[in-house]
Amino acid sequence: MRKLLGAAGGLALALGIATAVQADTPTMGVVVKIGGIPWFNAMEEGIKERAGEIGMDAEMIGPTSADPALQVRAIEDLIAKGVDVIGVVPNDEAALEPVLKKAMDQGIKVVAHEGPGLNNVDWNFELASADGFGEAHAKLLAEKIGGPGKYAVFVGSLTVPLHNAWADAAIAWMAENHPEIELVGERYGVAESVDDSRATALDLIAANPDLKGFLAFGSQGPIGAGRAIEERRKGGEIHVLGPFSPGQGQKLLKNDIISGGYMWNPAEAGRVFVTMGKMLVDGEEITEGTEIEGLGVVSPDAATRNIITDNLLEINKDTVDGLAAKGL
């Protein structure tokens, strides 16, 4: 019995010493939408990597389902743990406000990503602005078409605000800079389904002989439109662009069916979380012109606490293998 007590005491002492040593390292917890999916696994890698580089003790918490209630629980546990910084990728912005306020009231710094509407945060950062993302795709399409022609726009659904904001920006840029490239019809809300995208693309190709490109915003749009082009053997003639899952579109991209697209890098987002967390703990001010690694020179919006940048990652033949290997 005495031996056991001695061992327990020794263990407690060792743990006490271990924590005493750790006390100087700032701690951070990042609560993401859901754990165990490739996107957030990549983010976790980024967090761990960056934490090792700059001496933070950072961990990622991925709830078992995308339920805001679980995020609230995880954040409460982080507050209890007494971390210095909380990072969050919200499932539901409104549901997190009270618990984030609680964290901030206790002096914990809060960094958010993909939560532009959050109020109780020190900063929210974005790696892609709606306008920048849309324009980048339009620019790339104009480059690939390289002359007059027609193009069609797919969105995930007509009620997805983000997709429509991308589409608005892309169409506006195209109308201003390349009036010779015309939009066919309105936008089509089919891009969350491979079959719908394929069928709509086939109809559009049949109806418009001078169709030169598709801009597909929505995870399945480029894949579906790509299938249609593959069937009609129009690879290289009609260009498909849009954000898609690299693993899913790898083959179509290599066969020149899909021309490419942009996404943002979750691992980079993970790195930025830690970088910003460290800056906040050290009390560094983030103002107009501050350079943040991973974001570049930023111009933060002090009123809405948003830092919106355009750090897009092009999906092309060179990058697709690496991205697909990460399971993205």
Residues that bind other proteins (CB under 8 A): 8, 11-12, 15-16, 19, 35-36, 59, 61-65, 67-70, 72-74, 76-82, 92, 94-99, 102, 159
C-alpha to C-alpha distances, 145 to 182, 208, 224, nearest whole angstrom: 12, 15, 20
Minimum CB separation of residue 36 from other proteins in Å reads 6
Helices assigned H by DSSP within the chain: 2-22, 38-54, 68-81, 93-105, 130-145, 161-177, 194-207, 221-231, 246-254, 266-281, 320-325
Tokens of 155: 């969105």
Least Å from the CB of residue 81 to other proteins: 5
Q: Compare residues 56 and 292 and give the one whose CB is closer to other proteins.
A: 56
The distance of closest approach from Cβ of residue 156 to other proteins in the complex, given in angstroms and rounded to an integer, is 13
Q: Least CB distance from residue 70 to other proteins, whole Å?
A: 6
Q: Which is nearer to other proteins, 41 or 197 (CB)?
A: 41
Q: With respect to other proteins, which residue has the nearer C-beta, 49 or 182?
A: 49
Pick between residue 30 and residue 145 the one whose CB is nearest to other proteins.
Answer: 30
**Helix 161-177 and helix 130-145: axis angle, to 10°?**
50
8 A C-beta contact, residue 175 and residue 165:
no
Looking at beta carbons only, is 117 or 148 nearer to other proteins? 117
Q: How many CB atoms lie within 10 A of CB 120?
A: 18
Report how far residue 196's alpha carbon sits from residue 273's, in angstroms, rounded to the nearest whole number: 37
Q: Measured from the CB of residue 29, what is the shortest distance to other proteins in angstroms? A: 8
CA-CA distance, 30 to 28, in Å (whole number)?
Answer: 7
